[in-house]
């Protein structure tokens, strides 16, 4: 019987995860079925349990269910405990549920794919929501000189930074407190969905700096369109999506898929 996996979200019809995992399965020779399942906003646990009862072996979890998935798990990875959210579920042979988050490692591997080193670099992360929480541990593990979190609500950024001070130099505050230039600026807000840009200083980017939007699309995001004329080199979150999916696939199948061809196929699919 073919092993069943899925991505849960609401909405989820736009998800590229089924395409990505179909490519991974084809390339590795693994036999699995991967679908997108939209759970009601108040019914994730019930839909997940029905999926497991029908033989589901694991899943990815996207907005808005990552925190609910975290709460359902019997065992959690260290990085999931740090993030307080789960994007990868694994049903064990004993029926116990293991949760992990691969978002942060997906980001760091995407940066490495583009030969962007973080050691000794000054990094600004914009936003203080769950998406940002999930990337901070891997970013700090790469030994940057400093990570600064900026958020519209300064207190939220400060509180988030305080949860990670044991891992490296990190601080948080409001947009008005941003000072100096950065080697990497990561937009972890959803502002790009609405075509908006956070209120960032004009002189934000150091020479040779990168601007990274965790969102992606067929066209550059509003944040990247803003950053380009201000001297930044640009990356969107498509590679992060592929790399976090590859880590999930490895956790499920103990096989690490090649990602370069999947990146290219996904990029081309956005233009149709």
Annotated binding-site residues for NADP(+) read 127-131, 151-156, 214, 237
Binding residue positions for shikimate: 15-17, 62, 87, 103, 216, 244
Give the residue among 236, 242, 237 at the shortest CA–CA distance from 266. 242
121 as an active site residue: the answer is no
Q: Strand, helix or coil at 248?
A: helix
Structure tokens at 194: 């609405």
Cα–Cα dist 262/269, whole Å: 10
**Catalytic member of 66, 121, 169, 207:** 66
| Dihedral sign for Cα atoms in the order 104, 3, 27, 270 | negative
Q: Is the Cβ–Cβ distance between 80 and 102 less than 8 Å?
A: no
Break the chain down into helix, strand, coil percent, rounded to 5: 40, 25, 35
Beta strands in 39-80, from DSSP E residues, in sequence order = 56-61, 75-76
Q: Is the Cβ–Cβ distance between 138 and 110 less than 8 Å?
A: no
CA of 17: how far to CAs of 14, 33, 143, 166, 243, in Å? 9, 12, 30, 34, 11
- Active site members: 66
């Amino acid at each position: 019987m073919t092993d069943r996996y899925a991505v849960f979200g609401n909405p989820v019809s736009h998800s590229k995860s089924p395409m990505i995992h179909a490519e991974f399965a084809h390339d590795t020779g693994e036999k699995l079925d991967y679908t997108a399942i939209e759970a009601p906003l108040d019914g994730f646990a019930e839909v997940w349990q029905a999926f497991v009862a029908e033989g589901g072996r694991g899943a990815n979890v996207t907005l808005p269910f990552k925190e609910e998935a975290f709460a359902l798990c019997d065992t959690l990875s260290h990085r999931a405990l740090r993030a307080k959210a789960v994007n990868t579920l694994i049903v064990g042979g004993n029926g116990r549920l293991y949760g992990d988050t691969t978002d942060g490692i997906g980001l760091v591997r995407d940066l490495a794919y583009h030969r962007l080193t973080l050691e000794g670099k000054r990094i600004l992360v914009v936003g203080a929501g769950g998406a940002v929480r999930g990337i901070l541990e891997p970013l700090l593990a790469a030994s940057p000189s400093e990570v600064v979190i900026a958020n519209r609500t300064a207190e939220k950024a400060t509180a988030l930074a305080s949860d990670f001070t044991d891992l490296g130099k990190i601080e948080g505050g409001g947009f008005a407190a941003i000072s100096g230039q950065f080697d990497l600026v990561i937009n972890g807000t959803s502002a790009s969905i609405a075509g908006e840009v956070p209120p960032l200083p004009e002189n934000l980017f150091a020479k040779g700096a990168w601007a990274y939007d965790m969102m992606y699309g067929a066209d550059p995001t509003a944040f990247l369109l803003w950053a380009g004329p201000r001297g930044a080199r640009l990356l969107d979150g498509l590679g992060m999506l592929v790399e976090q999916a590859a880590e999930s696939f490895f956790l499920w199948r103990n096989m690490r898929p090649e990602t370069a061809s999947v990146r290219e196929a996904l990029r081309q699919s956005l233009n149709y």
